[in-house]
Amino acid sequence: MNFADPLVYVRAVHFAATIVAAGVIFFQVLIAEPAFAAAHGALRPDFEGLRRRLVALVAVSLIIAALSAAVWLVLLAADIYDAPVGEICINGDAWRVASQTRFGGVLLGRLGLAVALALTLFVAGNAPLRRPLRSVAVILAAAFLIAPAWTGHAGATPGRGGEFLLGADALHLLAAGAWVGGLIPLALLLAAARRATEPEWTSVTATAAVQRFSWLGIACVGSLVATALVNAWYDVGTFDALIATDYGRLVLLKLGLFVAMVALASINRFRLTPRLAAAGVAAALQRNTIAEAALGFAAVAVVGFLGAMAPASHLHEHAAYGGAVPADAAFAHIHSDQGMAEVTIIPGHAGTARASIQLLNENFEPLAAQDVTLTLIAPQTAAKPITYLAAPAADGTWQVGRIALPQPGNWTVAVRAALGPKRRLDVAAPIVIEPAP
């Protein structure tokens, strides 16, 4: 887990802005406008102010999402080409990543969706979204929200299994956006209800909106639970991996944040919402909603780290062995934005061993390289890292014949590969070496 990697924080900001933009659209179309329509326009002046704030929030979120996506692209290109950011921007390498990779294609497509969504809101102005514009806005927001699934681990998994996981990821993003992204406009609505002079704000309209959002939240929680189980089965695999790996521990942290959100949502739904018209209840519900949103965006920050790490389950699968690693081997799957490296050390215990390195692209296809080196770093010693030059083999892997593993423990393996002019793959991960039998 690299806390110094700026990409982690850029991802988190980008996902948060995306969730807010889409969530506000969903809230306005599915929650706020139907609730205010039921009031027959009697509270229109209060709703106009809220609507303007929601539109402004979408606009700011789209701008932040676009800017963070551009920074993400530049940082990724700098990693791929192993060059300074300024050089990447000047010589066009960032554009090559945008135009020649899946990540770039998805990014450009989402930029188009963001522009289309902004135009839809501009055409609507401050007026209520008419029925055709409502449908267009919801479809654009949903597409903008779920598109990152195609750049994640599921999007890189081939076959029917990959399609299933991709669908689960897309539904997970959709549910997270509708729930977490809707909490901020819900807090704004409650704030407007507290300021309103008409008692109908809280007794009729705000109560109706909160109740509608509660039902939407229940549907989202169910979807998140189902898709989280699918993702955990794929990304973590075993209970041991959930406890013993950084990836698994981050998943547990995300789960803890989710449970805390559900607990707050239950208090809001069953204790506060039925008494919303009572004095002080709207303020308590607003505070709980803000706390719930804070927990949700903390979970989004965790996702920023998870996206930069190889899933824990990948430590047990190897493309070169048909998905099964030899029983006596040590194995590490190292996933990065530049590509993937799968390192197998046989035998995986202290002594003399050999290593096999498989390089893969985002589609799990062989990744061509000009030269490959393997560096081994012993655990908790002052010994210098040892670097070996790997040799290409007929099966497309890179082999290191004899490597010395003088002690067991949590070693570190680093792979550095020249992929082309100014393009490099540079990744590292822990690998467990067992005691000699």
Low-confidence stretches of the chain (pLDDT beneath 70): 1-3, 38-47, 80, 82, 124-131, 152-162, 197-203, 237-238, 240-241, 244, 308-326, 337, 363, 380-383
Domain ranges of the chain: 6-313, 317-433
Are 424 and 383 within 8 A, CB to CB?
Answer: no
Instruction: Find residue 413's DSSP bridge partners.
Output: 376, 429
Instruction: Indicate if 317-433 has the same CATH topology as 6-313.
Output: no
Residue 105 burial (C-beta neighbours within 10 Å; 0-12, 13-18, 19+): middle
The DSSP result for 27-80, as a single string, is IIIIIIHHHHHTTTTTTHHHHHHHHHHHHHHHHHHHHHHHHHHHHHHHHHHHHH
Strands 351-360 and 386-389: unpaired
Alpha carbons 95 and 78: distance in angstroms, whole number: 12
317-433: what CATH class? Answer: mainly beta
33 CB burial (10 A radius; 0-12, 13-18, 19+) = middle
Between CA 380 and CA 10 the distance in angstroms is: 32
**Does the global pTM surpass 0.75?**
no
Contact in structure between 342 and 319 (CB atoms under 8 Å): yes
Q: What is the pLDDT of residue 381?
A: 61
Residues 110-167 have pLDDT tens digits of 999 999 999 888 776 655 556 677 788 899 999 999 998 887 665 555 556 567 778 8
> Is 1.20.1630 the CATH classification of the domain at 6-313?
yes
pLDDT on residue 423? 81
Distance CA(215)–CA(220), nearest Å, equals 9
DSSP 272: I
pLDDT for residue 322: 47
3-state secondary structure at position 359 = strand
